[in-house]
Amino acid sequence: MKGIHVSCLVTGEKKYLSGNSLQNKLSKYGSPEGIQKYYISQPVKKMLKQGLSVQDIRTKLNSQITSTVDIEILYKLKLLKMSKKRKKLLTPQEQKLQEQQTQENERKYYEHKEKMTTCLKTWVEWATGGPNKCQVPNGGTCIRPDIYYDNEGDRTGRCRPCPYHEHCLCSGKELK
């Protein structure tokens, strides 16, 4: 086979493949039709891996193509990431939105934690009883499981050496 002309799925840029590059593509995709179905030029692949959308790339490279690119093809070429939770394909915009939401949730968590550390009672009740004391019916959660109640020692029914004893909602270490 002498060579074939292929066009990039994203930009429509034409390229002539021959020789070793054609043989490599044929071994990877099986036929000239397979090459045409999956061909994306190297600069476009690089931009997709950086997180640019297909429309952004077309605008940046002044492409006149308006056809849609199948997301499945981009995923098979490992140019998009898949959400592990949802098991669906994510576009670069969805990836950025997901990262922003994660950062926002982390920020809220650390702000909440900072507020709680300023008030020991609030923090201990949250840590041992859960948000809105949801863990209290099940006995709560111990902050210091390394400190254990000694049946032979103090018989008051609580973990005395624990510095959080006064506000702890955990009932697991009470003497019964």
Write out pLDDT tens, residues 126-168. 888 887 777 777 778 888 777 765 555 555 555 666 777 777 8
Q: Would you give the DSSP letter of residue 89? A: B
Write out pLDDT tens, residues 11-51. 888 888 888 888 888 888 888 888 888 888 888 888 888 77
Radius of gyration for the chain, computed over Cα atoms and rounded to the nearest angstrom: 30
H-helix or E-strand containing 158? none
Confidence of residue 176 (pLDDT cuts 50, 70, 90): very low
CA distance 37 to 85: 29
The reported pTM is: 0.44
What is the pLDDT of the chain when averaged over all its residues?
A: 77
Extents of the domains making up the chain: 3-80, 95-167
Q: Could you tell me how many residues make up the chain? A: 176
